[in-house]
Amino acid sequence: MLINGSRLKNYPVLSLHIGGKTAHTTEPIIDPRKFQIVGFYVDGPLVNYEENGNILETKMIREFSNLGMVIDSVDDFTEEGEVVKLDEVINLHFKLEGMKVVTKKKTKLGKVIDYTVDPKDYMILQLIVQRPPVKAFLDPELVISRKEIVEVTDEKIIVKDEEEKIKKKAVKEDFVPNFVNPFREPNFAKADSRTPDERDN
């Protein structure tokens, strides 16, 4: 079950306490050392920066669905300075989109335009890389597995040299919720399959 990282921007955050939407995500907070999303900056009318902060740690997300991220309440939000480990990641100022991707032999593969995430643990599993103009005609995009990554620096991501082994087709999102979602849409009554004459009788 994968989801594109671009879908996680402006994603609804649903609160069990108020029974509805309490905020939406703005930007992910990515730890380049683990290649994992550890939190999201959030915004919205119910986000109180002074009382609750504007950061949602991924460990506070109870469930994930196509309707939103489910949390207990706005008390689950935090702010910079409250969590040491989170502050360490924030201070790295790491931005994945736009990062250059090169091989160990310094062959330029392109720039990261998106990535895929497993919403179970928010690990980044694949990079979607836009090819340089010269190579984009034949292969506009590359999909690179995290297993191919050798090193992540402030300026680029270095991957293995076996370029021919890198998949060149993006993995289609395959998101199917497998839990009871309190915010799911109500079930509609089944349509009456009887004919008008049968219903009149």
Question: CA–CA distance from 87 to each of 36, 84, 186 (Å)?
Answer: 15, 5, 40
Query: Any alpha helices (H) in 118-165, and if so which ranges?
Result: 133-136
Question: Is this model's pTM higher than 0.85 or not?
Answer: no
Q: Are the C-beta atoms of residues 12 and 56 closer than 8 Å to each other?
A: no
Give the pLDDT band (50/70/90) at residue 188.
very low
Minimum mean pLDDT range among 28-37, 133-142, 192-201? 192-201
**pLDDT tens digit string along 90-116?**
999 999 999 999 999 999 999 999 999
pLDDT for position 166: 53
The answer on pLDDT for 141 being more than 90 is no
Element holding 114 (H helix, E strand): strand 108-118
The answer on pLDDT for 157 being more than 90 is yes
* Domain spanning 100-165: CATH superfamily: PRC-barrel domain (2.30.30.240)
Q: pLDDT > 90: what percent of the chain?
A: 61
Per-domain boundaries in the chain = 3-90, 100-165
Q: pLDDT > 70: what percent of the chain?
A: 75
Q: How far is CA 44 from the centre of its chain?
A: 19
* Domain spanning 3-90: CATH superfamily: Photosynthetic Reaction Center, subunit H, domain 2 (3.90.50.10)
